[in-house]
């Protein structure tokens, strides 16, 4: 079953490199990033897990916990982590789920038979404090993810969850944002006192309100 935006992220209990976790309990009241890997000891995944470890402080600033899933077992994961740490000059600092029975992969529809009937695709799920899925991304097994883009999207999700704005194409944290169409132009100054610009009646911009 495909996971859609707004769905409650399926809960599960699983063994990880940091012990047994109940997913919803582990998330607590914060944001979560769940991302899958086709298998252990795969070259692209090695770079991705290393990059996630390097960016841990950036995820922490945003209140986001990262957790990976791969369909191999714990002993395999532990050996792979040694390789990741060595080759990526980092230290893996987040849990990796052992999903040998493919329970998590199935719950999150991570196996796409027309692409490969055994390997998980590179799925990304961003989950909000309400346990609802806020973002899904799916890459083929051959394409590594852009983790700076994932951080950028999280910035947008967190901003737009708390303010009546949207973020335009290629937006980066700190840049102007788009005022929600639901807000009348005459009401903008009271809601966004930093100023605004009317480009078209339906396209109004304002400085990022939480900066």
Residues catalogued as catalytic: 45
Please identify which residue in the block is written with the tokens 């402080």. 57
Whether the CB-CB separation of 18 and 113 falls below 8 Å is answered with no
Tokens 């991570």 belong to residue:
110
- Which two three-digit tokens encode residue 31? 């944001």
Sheet holding 203-206, edge to edge: 165-166, 177-179, 203-206, 197-200
**What b/e sequence results for 171-188 when a residue is b if at least 16 CB atoms lie within 10 Å of its CB, and e otherwise?**
bebeebbbbeeebeeeeb
> Any idea what the Cα angle at residue 208 is, between residues 59 and 60, rounded to 5°?
10
For every residue of 51-96, DSSP letters joined together read HHHHTHHHHHHTTEEEEEEESS-HHHHHHHHHHHHHHHTS---S-E
């Amino acid at each position: 079953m495909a996971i859609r935006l707004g769905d409650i992220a399926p809960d599960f209990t699983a063994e990880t490199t940091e012990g047994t976790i109940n997913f919803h309990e582990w998330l607590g009241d914060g944001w979560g990033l769940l991302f899958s890997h086709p298998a252990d000891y795969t070259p692209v995944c090695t770079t991705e897990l290393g990059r996630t470890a390097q960016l841990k402080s950036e995820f922490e600033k945003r209140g986001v916990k990262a957790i990976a899933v791969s369909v191999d077992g714990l002993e395999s994961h532990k050996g792979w982590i040694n390789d990741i740490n060595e080759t990526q000059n980092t230290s893996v600092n987040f849990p990796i789920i052992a999903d040998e029975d493919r329970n998590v992969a199935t719950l999150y529809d991570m196996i796409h038979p027309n692409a490969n009937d055994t390997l998980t695709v590179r799925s990304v799920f961003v989950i909000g404090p309400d346990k609802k899925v806020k973002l899904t991304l799916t890459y083929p097994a051959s394409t590594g993810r852009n983790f700076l883009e994932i951080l950028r999207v999280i910035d947008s999700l967190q901003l737009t969850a708390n303010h009546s704005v949207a973020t335009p194409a290629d937006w980066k944290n700190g840049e102007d944002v788009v005022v929600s169409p639901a807000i009348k132009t005459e009401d903008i100054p009271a809601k966004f006192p930093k100023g605004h610009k009317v480009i078209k009646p339906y396209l109004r911009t304002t400085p990022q309100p939480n900066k």
